Chains A and B, each alone.
Chain A
Amino acid sequence: MPFHEFNCSTCIPERREHAVVKGPGEDLTSALPLGYLNTIPGSISERGCAYCGAKHVIGTPMKDVIHLSHGPVGCTYDTWQTKRYISDNDNFQLKNTFASDVKEKHIVFGAEGLLKKNIIEAFQAFPEIKRMTIYSTCATALIGDDIGAIAQEVMEEMPDVDIFVCNSPGFAGPSQSGGHHKINIAWVNNKVGTVEPKITSDYVINYVGEYNIQGDQEVMIDYFKRMGIQVLSTFTGNGSYDDLRAMHRAHLNVLECARSAEYICNELRVRYGIPRLDIDGFGFEPLSASLRKIGLFFGIEDRAQAIIDAETARWKPELDWYKERLKGKKVCLWPGGSKLWHWANVIHEEMGVEVVSLYTKFGHQGDMEKGIARCEQGALAIDDPNELEGLEAMEKLKPDVIFTGKRPGEVAKKIRVPYLNAHAYHNGPYKGYEGWVRFARDIYNAIYSPIHQLSALDISKDEIPADKGFITRRMLSDIHLTPEIRDSSEMRQYTGGYDSVSPLRERDYPYMNESKALV
């Protein structure tokens, strides 16, 4: 597995071991790219900071909480309304954000008094909310404010409130990943075990490392409830603060994003003996295997299988319709962390696309190991890519689509590569059986966009096809299909609605009623 050297990065030799090409028959472990090292200044990396890893990625998806950042206003503003982690309480945490608004005089004289006033004001502004998380920022960490002491003081004065403090200033680590770690450990140290839950089922889990992007969590919770499983808490998407204080009573931790949340699972195993089961909500087979494993753990495989059978029967014909039309299309799989290995193999298996490159902004070597193991031969794997390397890779690999973030998607647009938002999704959720079809539908729509096709035409010198008033996606996608596939009555396009999540909130769960009756 030779290291890949980018032309644009020959002048920074430190980059040499951060990219590899997966060669034929090579031992995966012999040459992994370096990972999770300090960023090279000035390289125009895509990485964020440890504050955003703690506050924005993991903290804020918690729904019934005032999320207050102790620092100048920018950290708060910048991490507000830039993600799609919805919640079933009318998106309180998406809509509202809180900053202590540290100014120069506070830097000089300290900002603890300001913080205390802020906490009280915030609770007064939203009297129905009794829970708060507070995050340090670069400025308040450097001046040494004791946020924990202030929080304690307020909790003593206001006995009905509870406050969680996470000290994860922006500089605390090479990327947002440092913040993931810090908030995991802070939560298990300070909050787990402080509430005793009501157990209403024989099967009790925490759902960990799931952030409810466009409703992913609600899709998965639906399956768990259909199996009669009590989900004590979700860490953290659509999760409730007090539920998360009761994590210690689960029988099993079901872990989705092992990059951002394996730390708390590992601690819960050590401290409370709760086993960790890594699952995967993306893709029919990985999801089915995940539900089976959970079923097996509790001895309710039949319930899992019933869901798998029903969902597969409902959605597989739609997935296959897209698979036939996506076969052989080249994909750059360029997400932040765990999706690089969640998706690397299954999009090939179930949608027929070829992963020609994968990268991770903040992943560690372990993530790359899993990603490279699962992707196809010849794929280019890049750790902490920078702007020029991304462009060079796209020029070389000529992908049909890339899966990445919003801003890098704008870079791809200019070189006429369509993008799908791998973080926030285009029209998700992408988890669950239906979600996976939605993902395939979005990929199809991106690749066969008539507008993207038009972008290649140079009207000043190319021949203009003046005989056409329009082109449909199917005219582009079906051209090489055999008549049997093209006209198949078994396969069909996506038939779900625009909002596949809200209806889930109204569902009834027979097994859950049963277990409640038992209690």
Chain B
Amino acid sequence: MTCEVIQKGRSGVINPIFTCQPAGAQYASIGIKDCIGIVHGGQGCVMFVRLLFSQHFKENFLIASSSVHEDGAVFGALNRVEEAVDVLLMRYPDVKVVPIITTCSTEVIGDDVDGVILKLNRGLLQEKYADREVHLIAVHAPSFVGSQVSGYDVAVEAFVSHFAKKSEPSGKLNLITGWVNPGDVTVLKQLLAEMQVDATVLFEIESFDSPIMPDKSGESHGSTTIEDLTGTANAIGTLALNRYEGGRAARYLENEFGIPSIIGPTPIGIRNTDTFLHNVKALTGKPIPQSLVRERGKAIDALADLVHMFLAEKRVAIYGHPDLVIGLAEFCIDLEMKPVLLLLGDDNTTYKNDPRIKALQSGVDFEMEIVLNADLMELEDRIKNKELNLDLILGHSKGRFVAIDNNVPMVRVGFPTYDRAGLHRHPVVGYAGAIWLAEEMANTLFTDMEYKKNKEWILNVW
């Protein structure tokens, strides 16, 4: 009975779990109101990321490119940034926040983005946009470092450190959600509202789920404002739900402004949601109300209907963002399931020291493997050639063919989930997320039983 943590043996990637840093930085940028990022690099670095976001949300998001062509790659392309900023500001009068997100090409050629921002601040912005609040923020996101996960983390820190400014204490709580869905933000806000906690949600992306309006005004955008970001320095505390997606910003606020921070755990499942509320209580002094006792009870009730009869002993593989994967694994264990394989898709060397991973290593009572720097071939190979014998896969849509070709039922969770409808509307965090996850897993297993004629009659009297 061991839990082994290993590294993928191959040097390359076959069927990746993550994309690169600029995508994560772009995801953070669309969470801010009146913000259009400029990605400094080739056009594909934006075009495909916008496509990816639109695949996941079935919505459109605005991100610009500096459109570096061959001449820029040879002679330097900072002039493209200058032009991009001007063109963007001229045509989008509401834009106030413009992160300049670097990529592999512009980091390799050594374009001094910080320098050009200084130049633009002293030149263009003063000369042409003097009566307008504009913030240019360098986000260094070379694609050959980290992954989309660290790109998000780096960008959140860049935004917070640019804006955070000490003034009067606000009494508010900073809530750094990490890379979540609109459905998650809704649930988190509800939990905080029940506790009567006034919080600044970073990033407030509930409005990514936008309507078609009769007057055509519907638009998906982030809702975190400059004031929200500025005020983070005056909060009573910071809760960063995900260690690897916002943890840096929480530490920055603690080190720079003495804002006490609690990083993690991701509130997936009953136990982690309990801890989340405990942490909110610790930082704000607010009690946990009866209404949440009831809500929790409903979730426990829903789970009790499922665990012993259907979920117990089910063997699960989970891949995706590290905080999500660990949270899901912990929840699965509480549900009596066996998360036998966890795949974390980048080369972050600190994962192996994560206390949650250490706890899994010392605590699980079945054979479990955690693969770092993993790709989806690690999953497929174990199913095909190493008798992993799975009942269920939890992961995002890029792994769909592993599930399909190997006849393993799969619950889509994480980012992106473009091959299922509307999943961004559903939460995985909080008690509501616990219900959704458990019932989605159960229903997926039920459908699979029916298609495979595998004791499908058992559901007759349930």
Contacts and interface: CB of A to CB of B under 8 A. Distances in A.
Interface of A: 8-9, 11-12, 38-52, 68, 71-82, 95-104, 106-107, 114, 117-118, 121-122, 125, 137-139, 141-143, 169-175, 387-388, 405-408, 410-411, 413-416, 455-458, 462
B216 interface: yes
A305 to B, nearest CB: 43
B188 interface: no
Nearest to B381: A125
A366 to B, nearest CB: 21
A49 B42 contact: yes
Given A45-B67, A73-B18, A173-B69, A51 B11 contact: no
B145 interface: yes
Nearest to B23: A74
A478 to B, nearest CB: 26
B81 A103 contact: no
A410 B54 contact: yes
A8 to B, nearest CB: 6
Given A73-B20, A82-B48, A414-B216, A42 B70 contact: no
A72 B67 contact: no
Interface of B: 10-16, 18-23, 36, 38, 41-45, 47-52, 54-55, 58-60, 62-70, 72-73, 80-81, 83-88, 90-91, 103-105, 108-109, 142-145, 147-148, 210, 212-216, 218-219, 347, 377, 381, 397-398, 400-401, 405
A169 to B, nearest CB: 8
A8 B91 CA distance: 6
Contact of A9 (B16, B43, B91): B91
A51 B68 CA distance: 13
Given A39-B67, A104-B142, A142 B216 contact: no
B290 to A, nearest CB: 37
B52 A416 contact: no
A71 B16 CA distance: 13
Nearest to B48: A78
B60 A40 contact: no
Contact of A170 (B21, B45, B148): B45
For the complex of A and B, the 10 pairs showing the least CB-CB separation, nearest first, are A74-B20, A170-B42, A42-B84, A49-B44, A41-B84, A78-B48, A138-B105, A42-B87, A118-B12, A72-B143
B43 A49 contact: yes
9 contacts: A42-B83, A43-B87, A48-B47, A51-B42, A73-B20, A75-B20, A101-B13, A117-B11, A170-B45
A412 to B, nearest CB: 9
Nearest to B80: A41
Nearest to A415: B216
Nearest to B108: A142
Contacts of A121: 10-12, 14
Contacts of A39: 43, 65, 67, 69
B105 A170 contact: yes
Contacts of B72: 171
Contacts of B63: 44
Contacts of B213: 414
Contacts of B69: 38-39, 171-174
A473 to B, nearest CB: 19
A38 B60 contact: no
Contacts of A106: 144
B12 A101 contact: yes
Which of B11, B65, B90 has most chain A Cβ within 10 Å?
Answer: B11
A48 B67 CA distance: 9
Contact of B216 (A117, A125, A416): A416
A171 B15 contact: no
Which of A172, A410, A416 has most chain B Cβ within 10 Å?
Answer: A410
B44 A99 contact: no
B84 to A, nearest CB: 3
A410 B220 CA distance: 10
Contacts of B91: 8-9, 11-12, 42-43, 388
B42 A98 contact: no
Contacts of A173: 69-70
Contact of A139 (B88, B144, B212): B144
Contacts of B19: 73-74, 77-78
A42 B12 contact: no
A405 B63 CA distance: 17
Contacts of B59: 410
Given A102-B144, A172-B70, A82 B55 contact: yes
B55 A406 contact: yes
Nearest to A405: B51
Contacts of B109: 142
Nearest to B89: A42
A52 B16 contact: no
B168 to A, nearest CB: 37
Given A75-B44, A139-B144, A170-B43, A41 B67 contact: yes
Contact of A142 (B12, B51, B105, B400): B105
A125 B85 CA distance: 46
B108 A47 contact: no
A55 to B, nearest CB: 10
B66 A82 contact: no
B404 to A, nearest CB: 9
Contacts of B44: 48-49, 51-52, 75, 78-79, 170
Contacts of B68: 171
A61 to B, nearest CB: 17
B237 to A, nearest CB: 35
A407 B54 contact: yes
Given A72-B144, A138-B41, A141-B73, 15 more contacts: A8-B91, A11-B90, A11-B91, A42-B64, A49-B45, A72-B20, A75-B143, A78-B19, A82-B52, A103-B347, A121-B10, A121-B11, A121-B14, A139-B104, A413-B212
B60 A46 contact: no
Contacts of B83: 40-42
A139 B16 CA distance: 18
Contact of B11 (A77, A114, A143, A387): A114
Contacts of A12: 87, 90-91
Contacts of B16: 73, 76-77, 80, 97, 99
Contacts of B12: 68, 98-101, 114, 117-118, 121-122
